[in-house]
Structure 1
């Protein structure tokens, strides 16, 4: 059945991987694109990056963190359950360089999206250095997968429980200061991470691409919810992105917009948890 979950795995606390039957999306998907889904008829529209897809099997793979009421509902679905609706692929495909030296950086749940990009870059003949980071070792995902597609892999945790203690940006700065050079740096994760990576690479004039995780509603450019300022001009993450030149993004505005409804999201989550307790 279309939109049926055929595989589910917990990668880390509150981080889930699901494989979904979606033959039309799997047939058209390209690197860097995403889907939007609703768990049920009354559900919120959730944008999720395509982590993998198989046109022959007609399946797509998604990774998400149970951060709010809607993603917790998605996490409660089991193998055999059907997602109410699923649309995609959306967004502009990523540009994959050829025979270059690239550095791919991902943090937390976004490590999954970074892996998808690193895999495609390696398949295109690039030399790939990867930096993956998380708060703790328990929250690191896709380590084994990254080892298979990276020429060099650096692991960073905030508390030092795995790899180097510190932050991905500190490690990148150390590599650049030691003479390491890249033709391209690609980063995906929290706004703070992407901004700091951009500030580090700009003095070195290294092309830097970030994948923005804006709030979205329709995903086709009509609502304007995902608006972001790039090079002083308004653009829409859903149709102009999600990849943008990091040195041109207004990260302060972007961060303010993605956190605009934090209090409302907390309230909805509280109500949803109270409803589950009563039932």
Structure 2
């Protein structure tokens, strides 16, 4: 069992929890995710790691209520426990394998949209701990939906906050801020964008035009988190990938966002899954390639 040691509501339907999971905390890295189950009958829920404390043996998760299982999670309090807390899963951010001195020579921009601030934060924090200053844009629909602003401000070199309705910070989309920063003379070697699929798509369209290599995290489309359900299938360049086992981070300029978003909507219905099976043939089943899927 994995006890909850902290619970906080960050915004409407968005919650933060610190969970005691010593083995996960000991080895996890920014960019990776975990899978939680409330109880034996509960749904498997993949969540990107927001933060970790190796000494305390805790993992911080942030989740938004989107269905019955996440709604049930909101009923858990400090002292309650998760039945399962599996991880770390997925590949760590590619930054973690680069030489620190090489990273210090790069100008890096992070773009977080909505709950995407949660997976962006551990990467920015890791950069800060290694003496690397990065620029960060955090966008949300409204001021009330903004999360982790103070935490991000403490580790970012420069933080730019924007809201769609102009209720706080700058007014407009994160893409507008990117354009403004470039117009002001900033040049970036790489951009990391994490958030809603549509946000990442338009960030990538802009950064491709600006010739800024861009990394995206495809965690929004994960379901099972092990490569067996096939829900997170996507096309990256000329290859079929699965977000949970091959990612979750990919070259954003190679991701077919339109296909991924269309597939994500279809996968939610039985009729849609049947159509995908017909369209995708032998490649439709899970990402592991060995489970046999739904044959």
TM-score for both structures, normalised by structure 2: 0.85
Measure how far apart 1:262 and its partner are: 5.3
After TM superposition, give the deviation of residue 79 of structure 1 in Å.
0.8
Q: 1:254 aligns with which of 260, 271, 284?
A: 260
| Contact map agreement 2:48 2:219 (CA 8 A) in 1 | no
Q: Does residue 232 of the first structure (1) align with residue 233 of the second (2)?
A: no
Task: Please say if 1:148 is aligned against 2:147.
Answer: no
Q: Give structure 1 stretches of 5+ with no counterpart.
A: 265-279
Instruction: Answer yes or no: is the 8 Å Cα contact 2:231–2:267 preserved in 1.
Output: no
Aligned-residue offset at 1:16: 0.4
Q: Could you report, residue by residue, the CA deviation over 1:63-103 in whole angstroms, capped at 9, with x for unpaired residues?
A: 01112111111111111111121211000000225112111
**Which position in structure 1 is the counterpart of 2:185?**
179
Question: What is the CA–CA distance in structure 2 between the aligned matches of 1:246 and 1:191, rounded to whole Å?
Answer: 11
* Equivalent residue runs for 1:48-127 within 5 Å: 48-96=47-95, 98-99=103-104, 100-127=106-133
**Unmatched segments (≥5 aa) in structure 2:** 271-295
Q: How many pairs align?
A: 263
Which of 196, 208, 230 in structure 2 is aligned with 1:202?
Answer: 208
Moved over 6 A (4+): none
Counterpart residue number, 1:242 = 248
Of stretches 12-21 and 174-183 in structure 1, the one that deviates more from structure 2 is: 174-183
Pick from 107, 126, 135 the counterpart of residue 141 of structure 2. 135
Greater CA drift, 207-216 or 104-113: 207-216
SS, match of residue 247 in structure 1: coil
Partner of 2:12: 13
Residue in 2 that maps onto 1:23: 22
**Alpha-carbon contact 1:214-1:237 (below 8 Å) kept:** no
Partner of 1:44: 43
**Distance in 1 (alpha carbons) for counterparts of 2:31 and 2:145:** 23
Indicate the SS of the match to 2:87: strand
CA distance in 1, matches of 2:38, 2:211: 43
Distance 2:85 2:31 in 1: 17
Superposed CA RMSD: 1.6
Worse overlay, 117-126 or 241-250: 117-126
1:236-257 C-alpha deviation (Å, 9 max, x unpaired) = 1111100000000000011122
Does the CA contact (< 8 Å) of 1:187 and 1:194 recur in 2? yes
Tell me by how many angstroms 1:219 deviates. Answer: 2.3
Name the SS of the counterpart of 1:248 in structure 2: coil
Counterpart-to-counterpart distance in 2, 1:104 and 1:204: 15
Change (3 A) 1:52 1:32: same
Q: Secondary structure at the match of 2:15?
A: strand
Which residue is equivalent to 1:211? 217
CA shift for structure 1 position 4: 0.8
State the match for 1:269 in structure 2: none
Query: Deviation per CA, 1:10-66, whole angstroms, max 9, x where unpaired?
Result: 111111000111111111111100001112222221110111112222111100111
In the TM superposition, residue 261 of structure 1 has moved relative to its aligned partner by 4.9
1:149-195 superposed Cα distances (whole Å, 9 cap, x missing partner): 12211110011110111100111122223332111100100011101
